[in-house]
Amino acid sequence: MTHTDWPLWEVFVRSRRGLSHTHAGSLHAPDAEFALRNARDLYTRRGEGVSLWVVPSSAITASSPDEKDPFFEPSADKPYRHPTFYEIPEGVPHL
Amino acid sequence: MTTTPAEDTARTAAALALGDDALVLSHRLGEWAGHAPVLEEEVALANIALDLLGQARVLLSMAGDEDELAFLREERAFRNLQLVEQPNGDFAHTIARQLYFSAHQYLLYDALASGEGPFAPLAGKAVKETAYHLDHAEQWTLRLGDGTDESHARMQRAVDALWRHTGEMFQPVEGLDVDPAALEAAWLERVTEVLRRATLTVPEGPRTGAWKAGAGRQGLHTEPFGRMLAEMQHLHRSHPGATW
Amino acid sequence: MATAAARDTAGSQAYDVPAGAGDTAGLERAFDAAVAADERIEPRDWMPDAYRATLVRQIAQHAHSEIIGMQPEANWITRAPSLRRKAILMAKVQDEAGHGLYLYSAAETLGTSREELLDKLHSGRQKYSSIFNYPTLTWADVGAIGWLVDGAAITNQVPLCRCSYGPYARAMVRVCKEESFHQRQGYELLLALSKGTPEQHAMAQDAVDRWWWPSLMMFGPPDDESQHSAQSMAWKIKRHSNDELRQRFVDICVPQAESLGLTLPDPDLKWNEERGRHDFGAIDWTEFRDVLKGNGPCNEERLTRRRRAHEEGAWVREAAAAHAAKHSSSETGATRA
């Protein structure tokens, strides 16, 4: 383990009220503050009204998992991220 | 609500000043793409750059055509602060620049948002973004200042070097319904608190230049700015009238 | 890599040898059955060492490709000719960093670390897609990369959304969704150029002429020369052959090129009524092998830039780790705005 090592964290996201948190993936961060911020940047593109949990991977006790990951929507206020934003001529297949 | 021609001109001047700040800083942050110190910072710096570019586009559009203004003005017509045009330097330098600027921009947008002037709608949206930029800069200031000996030395050098550009942020801006000078005390309090917590020495020394001709708001910039503009504008200018 | 040795700092993702592991043949049968039934293999499942090794290499090289791929495009951020295009390009390059992060995370679930993988990249022991060893010489190249390179990547990647390894498949779903924006961005950029001034049209055509053949090479060597394919197909890490995907890509691009008003630089490209596909010309595999070996236009530059960024960033990463060690209980946000 080198002195530049940033530990691994697991990220859980609740994308809307009424849903529960689901596992979104993992990331490296030096501490909890950065883990939270990096998770926001990476897994939600800072969508508002989202709840995030970050947990050091080493803190998780697991049995045989059977989890599915949520399918993430990009941030709603960045229209150029959505394919429908572009004016592609009609009839161009496969776009 | 109707405005007088004089009010329009003043408003345009203010839109340019604020818009150029955001445009130029966004450009500098875009220069980090592909070689940030850690992959997570690629995403974070790009977020800030994109937010600023979004703000710039709204503000410049209040003053005219966004691309004409960005790509066809000469150096002396830009109204950004000299602070934001400073080259990135090392990561500490970039963070110090961000800390100083975002602390100012946050206070400014907060004040504009609570008013009823023409900048209130943009400010209301941008203040949340700016809060995030400021938080990012503060978190890194703490880690670099109170990290290793090397990071501390680099961060101290950076905050010292950029200190002399911080006074300009509080000079009056024509057409703005907030007086920047009114924000200075709060800015100083916030910045000095973060620096101290980061175990850094608060810089002393002048916060403006001695040059009577003025600074960025008067269209007087630094040498790196001209080179930055040359790169930024070259392709657009090479194809006059073209759309992209 | 020995199964027991896969324990690492990634706590929950440490590989466990289940009880009764003496029955490796039984475990292998169960594994094979799961794969055959299109079930997902998850990080804590038993898996053959070779499956693990192949996946680590494939996912890592995919991640490396994303971050190296940032460079040719970042090359044009500061010169983007309109603010809208600049925003789109910055967002695209940001996405690529994000994809790299997702993929390194997926690779780490197999018992490796990002440090280790980056080390392999920097030392040349792991590769990245050789398409990124070509230079972006004009603004139109940004469009060509979006249309052709991302298009080829999508063709490759969509099947991977159903690959047998869970974390990789899930990362690919996220990547593919963001990638569709990238391809449309490139297409739209080229369309604007093609319909613009004569200089812009020429710029677009020149870029397509330079990027077409390398894009076809992205699908890898012809099936009869591809070493690892058979086993990867059996494990459902690879779901279609190189030639199949390449053909699919060509058939998609031909009408798109027509709509763009641009030509593809292949005099042998023509519709074959019998096959219901387009015939296309011979690929110059010597160029492919040469670039793969390190003799492409930008190999040196790409790796040097990446290594230097990593080295120059060391003091930053160290500072953050040192700060965390000094303040081992989390600080709450007096600074949280």
Q: Mind listing the pLDDT tens digit for each residue in C247-269?
A: 999 999 999 999 999 999 999 99
ipTM: 0.97
pLDDT lower than 50: segments of chain A: 1-2, 65-88
Q: Is residue C47 left, alpha or beta, with left meaning phi > 0 and alpha meaning psi from -120 to 50?
A: beta
Option in B43, B135, B136 nearest A42 (CB): B43
When pLDDT is averaged across residues C304-325 and rounded to a whole number, the result is 96
When pLDDT is averaged across residues B16-35 and rounded to a whole number, the result is 98
Domain count for chain A, please give it.
1
**Chains touching B by CB (3 or more pairs below 8 Å):** A, C
Pairing of strands A8-14, A22-28: antiparallel
Q: Whole domain around residue A22: which residue ranges?
A: 6-75
Q: How far is CA C235 from the centre of its chain?
A: 20
Between chains, do B43 and A34 touch, taking CB under 8 Å as contact? no
Question: Which structure tokens are listed for A35?
Answer: 């883990």
Domain ranges of chain B: 3-236
Asked which of B4-8, B112-116, C286-290, C304-308 is least confident by mean pLDDT, the reply is B4-8
Give the domain CATH number at A13.
Answer: 3.10.20.520
Nearest chain A Cα distance for residue C124, angstroms: 21
Say whether residue B162 is in contact with chain C using an 8 A CB cutoff.
no
C209 three-class SS: helix
Residues 7-36 of A with CB under 8 A from B: 27-30, 33-34
| Contact residues on chain A for B91, CB-CB shorter than 8 A | none
Is A65 a domain residue?
yes
Q: How many CB pairs under 8 A join B and C?
A: 153
- Any long-range contacts for C16-23 (C-beta under 8 Å, 24+ apart)? C16/C44, C17/C46, C18/C46, C21/C46
Domain ranges of chain C: 31-327
C31-327: which CATH number, 1.10.3720.10, 1.10.630.10, 3.40.50.740, 1.20.1260.10?
Answer: 1.20.1260.10
Say whether residue B192 is in contact with chain C using an 8 A CB cutoff.
no
Interacting residues of B50 by C-beta distance below 8 A, sequence separation 6+: A78, B26, C87, C90, C91, C94
CATH architecture observed for domain B3-236: Up-down Bundle (1.20)
Between chains, do C324 and A64 touch, taking CB under 8 Å as contact? no
The 10 Å Cβ neighbour count of residue C4 is 11
Is A63 a domain residue?
yes
Residues 188-207 of C with CB under 8 A from B: 189, 192-193, 196-197, 199-200
* Residue listed under structure tokens 């509080």: B170
Q: How many CB pairs under 8 A join A and C?
A: 127
Residue of A nearest to B44 (CA): A41
Between chains, do A34 and B139 touch, taking CB under 8 Å as contact? yes
Q: How far apart are CA B220 and CA B225, in angstroms?
A: 10
Say whether residue B164 is in contact with chain A using an 8 A CB cutoff.
no
- Residue of higher predicted confidence among C337 and B93: B93
Predicted local distance difference test score (pLDDT) of residue B28:
98
The 10 Å Cβ neighbour count of residue C157 is 18
Residue of C nearest to A42 (CA): C98
| Contact residues on chain C for A65, CB-CB shorter than 8 A | 42-44
- Predicted confidence (pLDDT) per residue in B146-195, tens digit: 999 999 999 999 999 999 999 999 999 999 999 999 999 999 999 999 99
Residues 127-146 of B with CB under 8 A from A: 132, 135-136, 139, 143
Predicted local distance difference test score (pLDDT) of residue A3:
52
Of the residues C89, C92, C170, the best mutation for testing chain A's interface (the one with the most A CB atoms within 10 Å of its CB) is C170
Between chains, do B53 and C82 touch, taking CB under 8 Å as contact? no
Option in B40, B47, B143 nearest A46 (CB): B47
